Chain A
Amino acid sequence: MRNLIAFFSGGLFGAGLLVAGMVDTTKVQGWLDVFGAWDPTLAFVMGGAVSVMFFVWIVAKRREKAVLGSPMPGPFPRLVDRNLVLGSLLFGAGWGLAGLCPGPAMASLSFNGWQGWLFAIAMGVGMAITPRMRAWLSVLDRSTLEVPPCETIPGEPRRPAPPPAAR
């Protein structure tokens, strides 16, 4: 049953992307091209999808479990961190370059020829190397945050701690 619903949801998602014109890379690039022939269609797509989901979340927050019994997702991470910002910038740059993001890339795979497959394979490789990228970025964090211990900082003569105030 779960798989049937997942298939239905994926199909409806793909059909929506097709109907909305999101599989057309020129429409996506037109939306991002604010200094060229700007195309506002994507704002309507996003607006329609977000407005439905706004009400769905209100219903979802009142329920403990989903209809098929699994717990509702969450709690969600709240931290806005470097990986969120860096990843989103990188994703946006790729999105603009080819006009494809993961959903439409899958939805148009069957009629996008070798180009669609090449993009999908490159995207899969990008996803596969992300854990390494994360590890590498966290090493970078550690090496930049590592400051020498106080004793080795020259110049500042160490003063003894002031004696506790006499009463």
Chain B
Amino acid sequence: MHQDWIWGLVGGLMIGAAAGVYLLINGRVLGASGIIGGLIDGTGRDTVSERVAFIGGLIAVPPLLVPLYKVVDTHVSNSALVLIAAGLMVGLGTRLANGCTSGHGVCGMSRLSLRGIVATAFYLLGGGLSLVVFRHLLGVI
């Protein structure tokens, strides 16, 4: 447990490096919801192959590292209702706001964008309220 923050920092530096490579070499902002969403709603039809390649790496590389760990327990919910409701909210919310934790959080806040900072403040607020309601009041998670 006491080592968690070190690994958090290391992982964070890797995430920053990934976003840096994507920006400096390809000239693109690394935003997971934007890269996926552009494929789904057709707004990214000019950059399909780049998006598919990015998502391919994102899906294919993590399982290669899993054997390095004793266990990778993601503690993902077993409730279909929770997963569907949360998925819909995450999909709709990130596209309505034009960004998620990577686009607004990592790439937006780091260039001191007001939109990035406001979005991050509100998704943290939404997340905090969600835990209050769904965990402490309703007890569903």
Contacts and interface: CB of A to CB of B under 8 A. Distances in A.
B74 A112 contact: yes
A40 B126 contact: no
B125 A89 contact: yes
Contacts of B92: 87, 90-91, 126-127, 129-130, 133
Contacts of A42: 8
Contact of A7 (B53, B84, B98): B53
Interface residues of B, number: 107
Contacts of A116: 74, 76
B138 to A, nearest CB: 10
Interface residues of A, number: 115
A73 B28 contact: yes
A123 B93 CA distance: 10
A91 B125 CA distance: 10
Given A65-B27, A87-B98, A46 B11 contact: no
Contacts of B28: 6, 66, 70, 73
A52 B62 contact: no
B31 to A, nearest CB: 9
A115 B12 contact: no
A36 to B, nearest CB: 7
Interface string B98-114: 10111011110111011
A7 to B, nearest CB: 4
Interface string A1-21: 011111111111111111111
A73 B63 CA distance: 31
Contacts of B90: 91, 94-95, 98, 100-102, 105, 119, 123, 126
Interface string A101-113: 1110111111111
Interface of A: 2-27, 29, 32-36, 39-54, 56-57, 59-60, 63, 65-73, 76-80, 83-103, 105-113, 115-116, 118-131, 133-134
27 contacts: A2-B49, A5-B21, A9-B18, A9-B19, A21-B8, A21-B11, A32-B124, A32-B127, A35-B132, A46-B12, A46-B106, A57-B23, A66-B24, A67-B25, A77-B115, A80-B115, A85-B97, A91-B93, A92-B123, A93-B89, A93-B93, A93-B126, A102-B102, A110-B60, A115-B78, A118-B83, A122-B83
